[in-house]
Amino acid sequence: MSVSKKKLLGKASAKKSLRKASAKAQSAMEYLMTYGWAILIISVVLAALFQLGVFNPMTFAPKAPPGACQVFRPNGPYTTQFINLEGVCSGELPQYVATSGPNTEGTIVVKSIQTGQINGVTLVFYWINTTKSSNDQSIFYLDFSSGYSIDAYLPQYYNSGPGAITVYTLNPSGANIGQFELSAFASWQQIAVTYNASSNLVSLYRNGAYFASLTPSNTLSLVGPINLYIPLQYSWTSIANVQIYNTSLSANEIQALYLEGIGGAPIDLQHLVGWWPLNGNANDYSGNGNNGQIIGNVNFVSNWWSGYTPP
């Protein structure tokens, strides 16, 4: 075959290959044009579902219904003989938690909580703050009949991100006799405040770990009954599993409570005076009958577990 014929065949082959490549590219473009929007829409939907927690493994975890676990006191409220836990008390996730909504507020109030013989007090709860607050937002008030109180606030902040939880101890005239602060957060945290009357020491714990202590300038007079106020104000704040004891729990007991998780049962039934899981209602499941009263707008939501990490 002559050299010229070989050149012509080579050129024809090159053109044929170019046409095939062009056809493949055109076919790929047509495929993308046909299915690209569908792929994009599916990606957006999957991202939205992930953000909503649909793919969160806790979405499918067992949830304990309201009242699934409670303290049984065979001899009546405030008795300590033969008491035990009954029901589903294995630390399952609660089905609901108490929360507020935008531009709404509500308060859970529990009055006249009998304390019995008391040498200290412990308040334990799970709490989350997810949005900015434009003013001081209360988390709880624990008021004694003597006029002393232990209060906690989320102070206002504007442009610098979350503020801090400030815990105050107040005397009967309302004067601040000691305070400390804890960095605020946007995920579920366990908070515990204890007061030991013998040592006149208030201690603060976060997620089972000791944070700080203070000595109030006056010894708190722990005269019962006590009143508990849990405001939920305007900011999508949520709270769960509130427990009050008439003693100062140890650091090991606080840690053990934390390790049980957000659905954990009380750890010291002998000194438990009130237990409000807030799993669908404001009832007291300590066996002492201190059911809470809901004032205003308090919601119980089931899709609460965004931001919660089991210990």
Same-domain status, 27 and 87? no
Residue 249: predicted pLDDT: 97
Same-domain status, 82 and 49? no
Distance CA 121, CA 119 (A): 7
Predicted TM-score (pTM) of this structure: 0.80
Residue 309: predicted pLDDT: 87
Output the domain CATH number for residue 97: 2.60.120.200
- Residue 307 domain-assigned (yes or no): no
Contact criterion met (CB below 8 Å) for 254 and 124: yes
- Residue 111 domain-assigned (yes or no): yes
Tens of pLDDT, residue by residue over 87-103, are 988 878 999 999 987 77
- Residue 310 domain-assigned (yes or no): no
Q: Buried (b) or exposed (e) across 112-134, using 16+ Cβ within 10 A?
A: ebbbeebebbbbbbbbbbbeebe
- Residue 97 domain-assigned (yes or no): yes
Same-domain status, 48 and 69? no
Same-domain status, 82 and 101? yes
Q: Residue ranges of the chain with pLDDT lower than 50?
A: 3, 5-9, 11, 49-50, 158-161
- Residue 139 domain-assigned (yes or no): yes
Residue 226: predicted pLDDT: 94
Residue 300: predicted pLDDT: 94
Residue 258: predicted pLDDT: 96
Name the phi and psi angles at 302, rounded to 5.
-100, -20
Same-domain status, 15 and 108? no
Q: Which token pair is 100?
A: 């507020």
Which domain, by its residues, includes 197? 60-301
- Residue 306 domain-assigned (yes or no): no
Same-domain status, 75 and 106? yes
Residue 39: predicted pLDDT: 62
Of 276, 280, 285, the C-alpha closest to 110 is 276
Same-domain status, 24 and 164? no
Same-domain status, 145 and 249? yes
Name the phi and psi angles at 140, rounded to 5.
-160, 155
Residue 145: predicted pLDDT: 93
Listing DSSP states for the chain in one string gives --HHHHHHHHHHHHHHHHHHHHHHHHHHHHHHHHHHHHHHHHHHHHHHHHHTTTT-GGGGS-EEPTTSEEEE-TT-TT--TT-EEEES-S-PEES-EEE--TT-EEEEEEEEE---S-SEEEEEEEEE--S--SS-EEEEEEEETTS-EEEEEE---SSSS--EEEEEEE-TT--EEEEEEEE--SS-EEEEEEEETTTTEEEEEETTEEEEEE--SS----PSPEEEEEEEESS--EEEEEEEESS---HHHHHHHHHH-TTPPPS-GGGEEEEE--SSS----SSS----EEEE--EEES---TT----
- Residue 308 domain-assigned (yes or no): no
Residue 7: predicted pLDDT: 46
- Residue 233 domain-assigned (yes or no): yes
Distance CA 184, CA 161 (A): 9
The alpha-carbon radius of gyration of the chain (Å, integer) is: 29
Residue 34: predicted pLDDT: 64
Domain count for the chain, please give it.
2
Same-domain status, 169 and 49? no
Residue 237: predicted pLDDT: 79
Residue 232: predicted pLDDT: 85
Same-domain status, 41 and 81? no
Same-domain status, 5 and 130? no
Same-domain status, 148 and 7? no
Which of 13, 29, 55 is the endpoint of a domain? 55
Q: Which residues have C-beta within 8 Å of that of residue 122, sequence separation ≥ 6?
A: 192, 193, 194, 195, 243, 244, 245, 247, 248, 249, 254
